[in-house]
Chains A and B, each alone.
Chain A
Amino acid sequence: MLKTAAFSFYVLFHPIDGFWELKNHKEKSFGAANLILAVLCLFNVLSIQFTSFHYGVLDRDNVNILINISSFVLPLLAWSVLNWALSTLLDGKASMKQIWVQSVYSLMPLLLSIPVLVIASHIMTLQDSAFYYLITSIAVLWCTFLFLFGNMTIHDYTMTKTVVMTLFTFAGIAASIFIGIILFSTFQQLISFITTVITEIRFMP
């Protein structure tokens, strides 16, 4: 599993070959991906603690680790589910598990940038912030790049189709959030209706 996790460094520079290998020839890639995600969450929490004050979170007292972690995990989960749901309809070749693995591996640049940023925050003043944010933007761009090529490889898509699928997935996520909210509020009303009826019956003269 560790070997597969270490394979992510190869994926960083050879996304097409790398993701193909990962999908078809690597063992325990699901566990490896979860390991990487765990490390990412850990790094992110540690960075709140160790980033220098002038680049860090102003209000450290109000940081909620659970919210912080779920801000990584929940979007990934939504992405995997929705991307799988849509790609199966449009002859994608990957399973949900494979999409999950691919998305986590695509976050590697972000993971690597965190320690660099933490160290940089102890070297740079706010005047050098351009360089600091350059690191962040490189990481984000690299992640996007890996995401697109990874998704293209595992689904055996063309680039155009991948981009269109990505947009569809985002739309799908928005729609599912919308439906989720509607369901939530409907159930809330249903429950309150039932409890009201029960109360009425209990106190009936």
Chain B
Amino acid sequence: MKKRIFAILLTMIISLPLVLGAAPYNTYNFDPVDNEATPMLDCMVPVQLITGVQLGVGDLNKPNDFRFGLDGQAYIADTNNDRIIVLDSGLNLVKVIDSFESGGVKETFNAPEGAFAEEDGTIFIADTQNRRVVVLDKDGSLITLMADVELTGSMLTFRPQKVVTDVAGHVYVVGAGSTEGLIQLTRDGDFVRFFGSNRVRPNPIEVIYRMFLTRAQRQAREQFVPTEFSNAHVDEDGFLYVTTRNTRTLQVRRLNALGSDVLRHDGIGEEVYGDITSTSVRAGTLAQFQAVTTDEDGNVYALDNSTGRIFVYDNTGQMLFMFGGRGNQVGLFNDAQAIDIKDGRAYVLDAGRGNITVFELTQYGELILLANHLYTLGEYEDSIGPWQEVIRMDAGNTLAWRALGQAYYGRKDYAAAMEYFELGMDRRGYSLAFGQVRDEWIKHYFSVIVIVIVLLGVALSVGVRLASSAIEKRKNREGGEVKAC
């Protein structure tokens, strides 16, 4: 009997890590000093797994998009089943859209890869293989059919993969192979322009190599073309976020109305998102950013398809933590395609397994987000409490030490700031705080310093005079003695 209880207990203990709520990955952040991945406490843990069967719609087949529309409902583009699944905010099934009526004829989708809804429930569906964007109202009847879109000045065929609209109602389409950027359409489906294309960054070795080639050889080589966008997202302020695959830098960008990047990439060395590798990156491990989303504080969650990791940055580009990974346990993914955030929960869609993993912030993660939010707003005083709580849980968090240093610097408590900056390995901050301490010291002791200098000067001149007269005397005496001889 005893043995049996023991055995049961043992199995329970062994199976503990398999229970939902424990993370099967090691959370880390990059050390600002040497860019080494430094382990930290888990910030986001998987809490739930949602499959198509649980939703009552049968297995999902290679779903490519999951996002909350502005109407609060969730939309899954179940690509290979040619349908869009609509869920309410609690992820209960509302309806399945698999066809619509156009001019009295029933039409279906062909591998739709994206869906998006506006506040009034107007749904934009990127009907990829039919090469059109279908706009339905919230009852599922057709509003506009954006087909046969003529992309003026480009050889590209219109194959929409993702579609979003901004506050002004412009429609932006991520088109397959669209190296010129996002495709902007009017609400009637007319082409306006290409928007926010990636800059070309030629490889210097390639440039030199090309100098030695003939024109024909040069043309035969791979051309320098900007990389295409992989996904788009509209944040709370109506700005567009875009992700790019197959590049090493600036994989996540925030575009303004002119299509230029307005994201501050302060915290990141050479604007590299995802895993930082000091040595050369092998082709297989190049980060493939597939989706991006933002929470209400403006933190950016960028999903790297190749490692299955989600990297979390604040709106200045400072990495806060990561979660997820590649593998078969709950919390790891096979082919993560989409991510969205709602009420502090992250939903990650795995196209390979056709399920959605729900992540929740841990207490530690919540603290970091809260503290960093206050900090980036400039409310240093209020951020001190949460940061100190972060330190209490994990004294190895360099970010927290640095922020505390900054907060105490703002409070004009420079001695404390120096201490925190030193713990956060921040030389620049330390030097600034130190300069303030030094200047205060000089101000405080200014009169004393002046008196000391004056006294030293007087003593020196008196000493020199005395010494020289003594030498003179001695010389005279010696001279006298010589004469006496």
A residues sitting closer than 8 Å to B (CB atoms) are 52-54, 58-59, 123, 125-127
Contact = CB atoms under 8 A, between A and B. Distances in A.
A52 B434 contact: yes
B438 A126 contact: no
Interface in B12-61: 33
Name B's interface SS.
helix
A59 B427 CA distance: 12
B434 A125 contact: yes
A126 B431 contact: yes
Name A's interface SS.
loop
Contact of B430 (A54, A59, A123, A127): A54
Interface in B411-436: 418, 421-422, 425, 427-428, 430-432, 434-435
Contacts of A127: 431, 435
Contacts of A53: 418, 421-422, 427, 430
The 10 closest A-B pairs by CB, nearest first: A126-B431, A125-B435, A54-B431, A125-B431, A54-B430, A54-B427, A53-B422, A53-B430, A125-B434, A58-B425
Contacts, number: 26
Interface in B139-154: none
Contact of A58 (B33, B421, B428, B434): B33
B31 to A, nearest CB: 10
B434 A54 contact: yes
Contacts of A52: 434
A58 B427 CA distance: 8
Nearest to A59: B33
A58 B438 CA distance: 21
Nearest to B427: A54
B392 to A, nearest CB: 22
A123 B438 contact: yes
A202 to B, nearest CB: 43
A125 B422 contact: no
B381 to A, nearest CB: 25
B428 A126 contact: yes
B75 to A, nearest CB: 49
Contacts of A58: 33, 425, 427
Interface in B442-463: none
B33 A125 contact: no
Contacts of A59: 33
B425 to A, nearest CB: 6
24 contacts: A52-B434, A53-B418, A53-B421, A53-B422, A53-B427, A53-B430, A54-B427, A54-B428, A54-B430, A54-B431, A54-B434, A58-B33, A58-B425, A58-B427, A59-B33, A123-B438, A125-B431, A125-B434, A125-B435, A125-B438, A126-B427, A126-B428, A127-B431, A127-B435
A185 to B, nearest CB: 24
